[in-house]
Amino acid sequence: MKTERLDVTPRGIDRAAEILSSGGIVAIPTETVYGLAADATDEAALHRVFAAKGRPQDNPLIVHIAEIDTLKVLAREIPSAAFRLAERFWPGPLTMVLKRTDATAKTVSAGLDTVAIRMPDHPVAQAVIRAGVPLAAPSANTSGSPSPTTAHHVLHDLDGKIDGVLMGDECAVGVESTVVDLSSTPPRLLRPGGVSAEELREILPDLVLDKAILVEPEQGAKVASPGMKYKHYAPKTTSFLVEGTSAQFVDYVNQKKNGAALCFSEEAALLTVPHLCYGSAQDESELAHNLFSALREVDGLGAKEIYIHAPEKSGVGLAVYNRLIRAAAFQVIAL
Ligand code: TXA
Ligand code: MG
């Protein structure tokens, strides 16, 4: 299949909408990561999304909307907190899991009684949604590899497997949306993301953090968010997540003959092993923004092992930590 490169012009957006309404699948930029979109009511198109990504069938998709009224079409028994969250954080990097109606295809929810919904804060994503139907869109990467934050990443993984890519800019946030489950009480944070747990607590004081965020789910365990149980974001090189101060990290990694580092920019000048920086220790948004590009590049350092300096687990840092602990297959070194 030839993957059409579409400009982010009214013409390119119309073409994307046309492909989507005829059952095709198109990658679109959002403020978090690129998504691989399909009509959320079209079973055949949704199956093509799972096939192109190599995604396990039991991992449900997020439905992307452009108008708040669509929420009531897709979900039922919506708690008032959902509207307060929407008012505060939409459009933006927040996904709400709610009880589903029959408005979307069953494949979207992978057999669950709930549906995940978000309103992206990106003019191109919004224009494509407005031109047609609600779109189901997982991240536009091969399952298991880092999510794509550039159109180039999308093509690296999916060229020839999807109908088109809207060739937008680099994604601003860089990590995927925060997923919060409001379908039961208390509300539960399933995946940390661009909206922090601290911000959510201002509206959801009883929010609980799902333990799968920071702990490896046991083999065969049932997890609230199916996506959390899969190996994810992993470079090919064996990776370790290292916790400690900059001085400890630099000392430790400099002793590793076959090692390389994914470090904070403050540490670069002190490292004697090959390294890549993903931002300042002081700036968790910068770390989030650069994270997935860096994870795609670390194999190029040519080392046997990669030591990744872990960020603080607060604010957006929790989302970065959550992705890194998966990239490192839960191998954590506490200095
Ligand atoms: O920022 C994002 O959320 C991006 C952009 C494209 O919008 N999308 C994204 O989709 O990250 P994906 O498919 O890569 O991740 C969706 C996550 C998965 O962990 C999945 O298990 C979870 O959301 N999820 C989806 N529907 C769910 C549901 N009904 N209940 C629980 N978890 C759900
Ligand atoms: Mg994904």
Per-residue pLDDT at 232: 79
**How many whole angstroms separate alpha carbon 131 and alpha carbon 162?**
20
Reported as a pLDDT band with limits 50, 70 and 90, residue 234 is confident
Instruction: Check: CB of residue 63 under 8 Å from CB of residue 39.
Output: no
Query: Which residues, in sequence order, are bridge partners of residue 166?
Result: 6
Q: Which residues make up the environment of ion ligand 2, defined by Cβ < 5 Å?
A: 139
Pocket test for ligand 1, best of 95, 119, 322 (most atoms within 8 A of CB): 95
Mapping DSSP to helix (H, G, I), strand (E, B) and coil, where does residue 37 land? strand
Instruction: Give the residue, by CA position, lying nearest to ligand 1 atom 31.
Output: 225
**How many whole angstroms separate alpha carbon 165 and alpha carbon 17?**
12
Among the bound ligands, name the one nearest to the CA of residue 36. Answer: 1
Place of tokens 């890194």: 324
The least confident of 116-125, 216-225, 326-335 is 216-225
What percent of the chain shows pLDDT beyond 70? 98
Question: Length of the chain in residues, anyone?
Answer: 335
**How many whole angstroms separate alpha carbon 130 and alpha carbon 274?**
46
Query: What tokens were used for 181?
Result: 């489950």
Tell me the average pLDDT across 178-189.
98
Tell me the average pLDDT across 259-266.
98
Mapping DSSP to helix (H, G, I), strand (E, B) and coil, where does residue 5 land? strand
Reported as a pLDDT band with limits 50, 70 and 90, residue 219 is confident
